[in-house]
Amino acid sequence: MENKAHAMAAGIFVALLTALVLGLAAWLTRDTGKHDPYEISTRESITGLAEQAPVRFRGVDVGKVKRVGFDPKVQGNVLIRLDVDRDAPLTRGTFATLSYQGVTGAAFIQLDDEGKPAPRLVPNDQVPPRIPLRPGLLARLEERGEAILDQVQQVTTRVNTLLGEPNQKRIASALDNFSRAADNTQQLAANINATVTRKLDPALDQATVTLRGAQRTVDQVGAAATQFGQTAQRLNASGGPIDRLSDGTDALSHAAETFGATTLPRINQATEQTTRTMRTLDRAATDLTENPQMLIYGEGTPRPGPGEPGFQAQGARR
Q: What is the pLDDT of residue 48?
A: 81
Comparing CA positions, the residue from 116, 121, 117 lying closest to residue 131 is 121
Entry field: residues in the chain: 318
Residue 2 pLDDT? 59
Strand intervals (E) in 149-244:
none
9-22 confidence digits (pLDDT tens): 788 888 888 888 88
pLDDT higher at 144 or 161: 161
The pLDDT score that the predictor gives to residue 81 is 92
The rounded distance, in Å, linking the Cα atoms of 11 and 14 is 5
C-alpha–C-alpha distance, residues 141 and 149, integer Å: 11
Chain centroid offset of residue 237 CA: 64
Report pLDDT digits (tens) over 107-127.
889 999 888 888 888 888 888
DSSP H or E stretch at residue 44: none
What's the N-to-C CA distance of the chain in angstroms? 219
Examine the pLDDT at 230 and tell me if it is beyond 80: no
Distance of alpha carbon 132 from alpha carbon 41, whole angstroms: 7
What mean pLDDT do residues 312-318 have?
Answer: 57
Distances (CA, A) of 14 to 20, 27, 183: 10, 20, 91
Whether 288 has a pLDDT exceeding 50, the answer reads yes
Residue 65 pLDDT: 92
Instruction: Kindly report the backbone phi and psi dihedral angles of residue 123, in degrees, each rounded to the nearest multiple of 5, phi listed first.
Output: -60, 145
In this prediction, residue 171 carries a pLDDT of 81
- Give the pLDDT band (50/70/90) at residue 38: very high
Name the pTM for this structure: 0.40
- What number is the average pLDDT over the span 186-212? 70
CA torsion sign for 239, 240, 243, 248 is positive
| Rounded Cα–Cα distance for residues 108 and 100 (Å) | 6
Structure-model confidence comparison of residues 64 and 304, the more confident one = 64
The H-or-E segment that residue 242 falls in is: helix 241-258
Angle 218-221-223 from CA coordinates, rounded to 5°: 110
Q: What are phi and psi of 72, to 5 degrees?
A: -75, -20
Strands (E), the chain: 35-42, 54-57, 60-70, 78-85, 95-100, 107-112, 133-134
Q: Which of 71, 37, 68, 33 is nearest to 53 (CA)?
A: 68
Q: Which amino acid is it at 234?
A: R
The pLDDT of residue 141 is above 50: yes
The mean pLDDT value for 28-36 works out to: 69
Q: Specify the higher pLDDT residue, 263 or 32.
A: 263
Q: What pLDDT score was predicted for residue 317?
A: 47
Q: Give pLDDT, residue 1.
A: 54
Q: Which residue has the higher pLDDT, 267 or 240?
A: 267
Decide if 82 contacts 109 (C-beta within 8 A): yes
In this predicted structure, which of 38-42, 232-236, 283-287 has the lowest mean pLDDT?
Answer: 232-236
243/251 Cα distance (integer angstroms): 12
For residue 311, what is the enclosing H or E element? none
pLDDT higher for 180 or 102?
A: 180
318 confidence band (pLDDT: 50, 70, 90):
very low
Percent of the chain with pLDDT over 90: 6
Instruction: Report, as an integer, the average pLDDT of 75-102.
Output: 88
Per-residue pLDDT band for 198 (boundaries 50, 70, 90) equals low
**Which pLDDT score is estimated for 73?**
86
